Amino acid sequence: MHERTLGTPGLKVSALGLGCMGMSQSFGPRPPREEMITFLRAAVDRGVTLFDTAEVYGPFHNEELVGEALQPVRDDVVIATKFGFAFDENGGQTGVSSRPEHIRAAVDGSLRRLRTDTIDLLYQHRVDPDVPIEDVAGTVKDLIEAGKVRHFGMSEAGVNTIRRAHAVQPVTALQSEYSLFWREPEDEILPALEELGIGFVPFSPLGRGFLTGQVTAESQFGEGDIRASLPRFDRVALQANLALVDLIRTVAERKGATVGQVALAWLLAQRPWIAPIPGTRRLERLEENLAAAELELTSEDLGELDSASASVQVQGARYPEAMQRMIDR
């Protein structure tokens, strides 16, 4: 697996990481724990070094899973986790919170669940409009100086917020959605990251499965599958959005690759400091995704994909309205 470097601070990670959320929530029933521990260790064996989790995934279950699975190889991997949500006494999510005392408590909990002394990359999961971002960055700076955290990251933050945070504590990476399906970061985010020397970690680089080529107009999303509630995946939008997959498939067939591999290779070709984190819990899908790092797209291929993306107006919002309000732009 090729390596990439995130940010001026220089965090080296595998070109493709692994998003771990789906092992605990959002995509149907939770798989058996031992099965996922075996899967995570298989990912390490195949060269993955960047593993992405968060306290809210589960909640808490995902960090515990990742911590147990990666403990034997802790020195060989980069673990990224996130703070930024508040919970009630039963573990239910009650909204965003980035108060300094909450951040410190969240980090202590994450360290315990991850079975580690240091978090390699700590993201603010969502911007808290009630807490100045300077206070957030300052708290993370203190945690870095205390040795509990190595690098500071942000997620779904807008350019102004990123600049203000970066002035207090250098930001190593931004995590936001980016794919052939969702290209909003190209307008303002990517130029700002390039200027500031910040790496980019796209989540949902395969459009929550849309760009794998496995979703069809007849696909049903059952109980516990977040896609059942996403406007992009309602029946009318789904049918319209499949036009983009058909155009990508034309390139994939010419390259002897899958739709998903072409979508990931396109992302990797955008900037050398982009490290996508496709999520999966199936070994065959993981191996398919990792092979995308070896797929070379010509300038003609990239131009055709850009034209395809521009020609299809993606239907449906990314999130329901309540979740959309948490995005900082």
Stated pTM of the model: 0.97
Instruction: Count other Cβ atoms within 10 Å, centred on residue 199.
Output: 27
Could you report the per-residue pLDDT of 282-326, keeping only the tens digit for each?
A: 999 999 999 999 999 999 999 999 999 999 999 999 999 888 989
Distances (CA, A) of 293 to 1, 257, 258, 263, 287: 7, 12, 13, 11, 11
Query: What is the pLDDT, as a whole number, of residue 90?
Result: 85
Return the pLDDT at 322: 87
Average pLDDT, the chain: 97
Cβ-contact 327, 156 below 8 angstroms: yes
Distance CA 165, CA 263 (A): 31
How large is the average pLDDT for residues 40-65? 98
Question: In this predicted structure, what is the pLDDT of residue 329?
Answer: 84
The residue extents of the domains of the chain are 3-209+269-294
Largest CA distance in the chain: 55
- The whole-number pLDDT of residue 47 equals 98
* pLDDT for 198 beyond 90: yes
Task: Give the whole-angstrom CA distance, residue 103 versus residue 289.
Answer: 34
pLDDT digits (tens, 9 = 90+) for 246-290: 999 999 999 999 999 999 999 999 999 999 999 999 999 999 999
Q: Which residues are paired to 52 by β-bridges?
A: 19, 80
CATH class of 3-209+269-294: alpha beta
Q: Within 10 Å of residue 320's Cβ, how many Cβ atoms?
A: 12
319 in active site: no
Tens of pLDDT along 225-249?
Answer: 999 999 999 999 999 999 999 999 9
pLDDT band at residue 145, thresholds of 50, 70 and 90? very high
Listed in sequence order, the DSSP H helices in the chain are 33-45, 61-70, 100-114, 133-145, 159-168, 189-196, 235-255, 259-270, 283-291, 299-311, 321-324
Residue 54 has pLDDT above 90, yes or no: yes
User: Average of pLDDT values for 34-45?
Assistant: 98
Q: Do residues 305 and 215 lie in contact, with contact meaning Cβ atoms separated by under 8 Å?
A: no
Residue 60's SS3 state is coil
Q: Tell me which of 57, 123, 178, 319 is the catalytic residue.
A: 57
Report the C-alpha gap between 273 and 17 in whole angstroms: 13
**Predicted confidence (pLDDT) at residue 1 exceeds the cutoff of 90:** no
Average pLDDT rounded to a whole number, residues 184-202: 98
CA distances from 18 to 40, 69, 299 (A): 9, 13, 27
